[in-house]
């Protein structure tokens, strides 16, 4: 069994389009270490080619790829990313329910850093996510329909750090979620009263 002893973050600023040959070249310069979890951050990437998505999907399962500026993902790219088991941070602003449904097949950690609001169809699609960690770091609010759909997510960890106000009605709905739920400070304050 592999024992993780340390982590490393590799940042590649200045790249706005991630293509396969460029990604392959960048990753080949990093020495492999079976005891390390790697995070590859591409803070300015706004688009990604299918070949780059293939490389990400076939990467080591202990890797995390952060693409916070990625504005959108097309169906083919989403299908390729969904094959992987590594972690993904995607900055998609408004992915369609179809794209979220495809990405729900991905089994690594999945974070959406650009989604501020969810529609019911989007919440229903991503609630089918097969991985154990699902995070919405910029989500500002939830409707009751979205909360109900997301409370059915079967993973172990669901995170909404961007939501600052939790009405009691949403707290009651999300109380049905069986895993660990991370939220902002107000949630803990409301539960303690």
Q: Is the Cβ–Cβ distance between 54 and 78 less than 8 Å?
A: no
Q: Give the span between the Cα atoms of 186 and 23, in whole angstroms.
A: 41
Quickly state the pLDDT bin for 45 (edges 50, 70, 90). Answer: very high
Q: Give the span between the Cα atoms of 117 and 140, in whole angstroms.
A: 6
Quickly state the pLDDT bin for 185 (edges 50, 70, 90). Answer: low
Which stretch of DSSP H or E encloses residue 130?
Answer: none
Mean pLDDT of 123-152: 94
pTM for the predicted model, two decimal places: 0.88
Quickly state the pLDDT bin for 6 (edges 50, 70, 90). Answer: confident
Q: Is the Cβ–Cβ distance between 137 and 112 less than 8 Å?
A: yes
Mean pLDDT of 31-56: 91
Residue in the structure block whose two tokens are 């083919």: 76
Q: What is the pLDDT of residues 66-81, one digit of tens each?
A: 999 998 999 999 999 9
H helices, E strands: number in the chain:
8, 10
Region of residue 14 (phi > 0: left; psi between -120 and 50: alpha; otherwise: beta): left
Quickly state the pLDDT bin for 165 (edges 50, 70, 90). Answer: confident
| Average of per-residue pLDDT values in the chain | 89
Q: Note the Cα 123 to chain centre separation in Å.
A: 14
- Helix, strand or coil for residue 100? helix
Residue 168 pLDDT more than 50? Answer: yes
Quickly state the pLDDT bin for 147 (edges 50, 70, 90). Answer: very high
Q: Is the Cβ–Cβ distance between 20 and 51 less than 8 Å?
A: yes
Residue 97: what are its φ and ψ, rounded to 5°? -60, -35
Q: Where are the domains of the chain?
A: 6-192
Q: At the topology level of CATH, where does 6-192 sit?
A: 3.80.10
Quickly state the pLDDT bin for 166 (edges 50, 70, 90). Answer: confident
Residue 177 pLDDT more than 80? Answer: yes
Residue 5 pLDDT more than 90? Answer: no
């Amino acid at each position: 069994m592999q024992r993780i002893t340390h982590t490393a973050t590799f940042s590649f600023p200045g790249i706005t389009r991630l293509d396969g040959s460029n990604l392959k070249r960048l990753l080949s310069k990093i020495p492999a270490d079976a005891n390390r979890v790697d995070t590859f951050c591409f803070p300015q990437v706004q688009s990604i080619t299918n070949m780059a998505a293939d490389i990400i999907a076939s990467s080591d399962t202990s890797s995390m790829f952060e693409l916070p500026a990625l504005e959108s993902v097309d169906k083919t790219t989403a299908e390729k990313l969904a094959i992987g088991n590594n972690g993904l941070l995607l900055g998609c602003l408004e992915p369609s329910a179809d794209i979220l449904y495809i990405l729900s097949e991905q089994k690594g950690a999945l974070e959406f850093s650009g989604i501020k609001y969810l529609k019911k169809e989007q919440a229903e699609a991503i609630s089918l996510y097969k991985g154990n960690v699902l995070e919405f770091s910029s989500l500002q609010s939830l409707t009751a329909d979205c909360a109900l759909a997301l409370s059915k997510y079967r993973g172990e960890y669901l995170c909404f750090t961007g939501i600052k106000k939790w009405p009691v009605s949403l707290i009651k709905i999300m109380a049905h979620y069986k895993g660990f739920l991370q939220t902002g400070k107000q949630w803990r304050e409301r539960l303690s009263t």
